[in-house]
Amino acid sequence: MEKPIKQEQQKVNSDRSSVEFINFSLSIDGIDVLRNIDLVMKSGELAIVYGPRGAGKSALLRSLLRLNREIYDNVERSGELKVNGKPVNAYDKKTLRRLVTYVEPSFVEALDHLRFGEFINLVLAEKQVSLDELSTELDRLGILRLLKREMRTPLREFYTMEKIMVLLFAAIVRKSSIIVLDCILDHVDDDAIVPVVRELSSIKEDRVVILSTRHQSRFLPMADLFVAIKDGRIEYKGAPRELVLKR
């Protein structure tokens, strides 16, 4: 039997895990979506990016993977955006998609069309692995017990939070140094998000972990860094305690 991957092997180089926006602006189809964003997010912090619908949260976070250009025809940007100390444009697409895992609500629905083994093949495209190799991490995240048919288990049988844990598992085994959950927890019950929040807190020490939301009061208590965006501008960035004291 092959030896399971040890949990410590899933860690990344925390010295290089960072995101930096420097006077960053973005326009889509001639409309200013982000304006003069200055923001640094580092490993060791759970960053909460808050804003109403249309504030620019997703456009900001999609920029980490250059995804906006894949969605829209006319995208222009200015300023600098660095991932792990390097300009985002310095990375080839394949490397960037490994370094940054971006998850939004439609990804959860997409899992319904896959078996677990198919999902793993997509995640680790160039590396064939067995269930035994993944068992340590799967068991820690509570996923192993759900795999009744092992690699052939249909993911449509999982509940929403179980699918979110599967997506988080993918980010961990790929050793992504930046993990982005874009409004993926907004419609999940408070009790159900506890395992995900616990996991995010445990992996943030050597990764940049970013959670965006439209619900300020719900996620404010768990933030190390709180960023409020409105109309494409940052209204507040800093410790959540300081924001509370300002009210």
pTM of the model: 0.89
The structural domain count of the chain equals 1
Q: What are the distances in angstroms from CA 74 to CA 53, 59, 63, 83?
A: 21, 13, 14, 23
Predicted confidence (pLDDT) per residue in 26-76, tens digit:
999 999 999 999 999 999 999 999 999 999 999 999 999 999 999 999 999
Instruction: Give domain status of residue 9, yes or no.
Output: no
Query: Which residues span the domain enclosing 96?
Result: 16-246
Q: Which residues pair with 34 in a beta bridge?
A: 26
Name the pLDDT band for 247 (thresholds 50, 70, 90).
Answer: low
Instruction: Give domain status of residue 75, yes or no.
Output: yes
Instruction: Give domain status of residue 5, yes or no.
Output: no
Specify the pLDDT at position 2. Answer: 35
Instruction: Give domain status of residue 40, yes or no.
Output: yes
Instruction: Give domain status of residue 28, yes or no.
Output: yes
Predicted confidence (pLDDT) per residue in 149-190, tens digit:
999 999 999 999 999 999 999 999 999 999 999 999 998 888
Name the pLDDT band for 147 (thresholds 50, 70, 90).
Answer: very high
What CATH code is carried by the domain that includes residue 89?
Answer: 3.40.50.300
Q: Is 118 in a helix, a strand, or coil?
A: helix
By CB atoms closer than 10 A (0-12, 13-18, 19+), residue 98 is middle
Specify the pLDDT at position 7. Answer: 39
H or E segment and range at residue 46: strand 46-50
- 């991957």: which residue's tokens? 5
- Cα 129 from Cα 144, distance rounded (Å): 15
Predicted confidence (pLDDT) per residue in 183-232, tens digit:
999 988 888 888 898 899 999 998 999 999 999 888 998 999 999 999 99
